[in-house]
Amino acid sequence: VNDINQHYAFIGVATVVDDYPLYYDATNEKGLSIAGLNFEGNAYYGEEVKGKLNIAPFEFIPWILGQCSTIKEVKKLLEQINFVNINFSEKLPLSPLHWLVADKNESIVIENLKTGLKIYDNPVGVLTNNPTFDYQLFNLNNYQNLSTQTPNNLFSKNINLNSYSRGMGGLGLPGDLSSMSRFVKATFTKLNSVSGDSESESISQFFHILGSVEQQKGLCDVGGKNYEYTIYSSCCNIDRGIYYYKTYENSQITAVDMNKEDLESSTLFT
């Protein structure tokens, strides 16, 4: 993509290679946020198309955050996009991704498939990995019996059944580490959790929600003595521009205020 001479400032987590930030997630000064998540086997990147804005996936997050302040603006910009199969370098091939994008009022999911670009409104504000987002939403129908309340006996009027433990309204809530199960659990937890009014309470509750689906080392063996696990967790107060994160090795929540930097600078702060 061509250079953007002026753009919004943004903050996030990235791997910096040759002074180029490869973002995992980020939030701009207007409160628009994006996270890219693994979408192996479904993500599709094609050849350049004349008349389109040809964007490599590693360019996508800064390209959107640099120009857009709302989901409405994102949708308008996406009318021109074509995701192209151009690797960052010989050593860094493209990652298969789909994206969760949110502003202060709404959220969408962006998936580029062989059948074309799909943009889904996201009523739950959650995204994991495979399968496609429309199927993830449909799968929630299978869990509409879940509740935060103590259940009544609907099994049969001919047998006396008792709730012998608290939390039995959640029986059947998935607890494994598959992406579909994590989607269900994260959605149920997010939509039913209760937080206080203060920022500290909201931040604490947010990380508790993420913690309900985090992956621990050793539980997802990917071969060669390697394990998939939750490397970091993050969120942002989009009204104040404060980015919060913690890592697998350090559970203390760290806050970074982007407004303490020069937002008009052309310098990459790391």
- pLDDT tens, residue by residue, 49-71: 999 999 999 999 999 999 999 99
Alpha helices in the chain (DSSP H): 57-67, 71-78, 133-139, 179-192, 199-211
Strand partners, 35: 25, 100
| Cα–Cα dist 99/118, whole Å | 11
Q: pLDDT tens across 123-159, in order? A: 999 999 999 999 999 999 999 999 999 999 999 999 9
Summarize the confidence of residues 152-168 as an average pLDDT. Answer: 94
| Cα–Cα dist 267/256, whole Å | 17
Q: pLDDT tens across 187-213, in order? A: 999 999 999 889 999 999 999 999 999
Q: Which of 168, 237, 153 is nearest to 200 (CA)?
A: 237
Is residue 4 very low, low, confident or very high in pLDDT (cuts 50, 70, 90)? Answer: low
Rg (CA), the chain: 21
pTM: predicted TM-score of the whole model, two decimal places: 0.93
Give the pLDDT score at 252.
97
Percentage of residues of the chain with pLDDT beyond 90: 91
Angle between helices 71-78 and 57-67 (to 10 degrees): 130
Give the pLDDT score at 261.
82
Task: Check: CB of residue 32 under 8 Å from CB of residue 64.
Answer: yes
The residue among 231 and 1 whose pLDDT is bigger is 231
Give the pLDDT score at 269.
76
Amino acid letter for position 182: R
Is residue 92 very low, low, confident or very high in pLDDT (cuts 50, 70, 90)? Answer: very high
What is the set of domains in the chain, with CATH numbers?
1-122 (3.60.60.10)
| Cα–Cα dist 69/60, whole Å | 15
For the four alpha carbons of 126, 131, 132 and 136, in that order, the dihedral sign comes to negative
The pLDDT of residue 233 is above 90 = yes
The residue among 121 and 265 whose pLDDT is bigger is 121
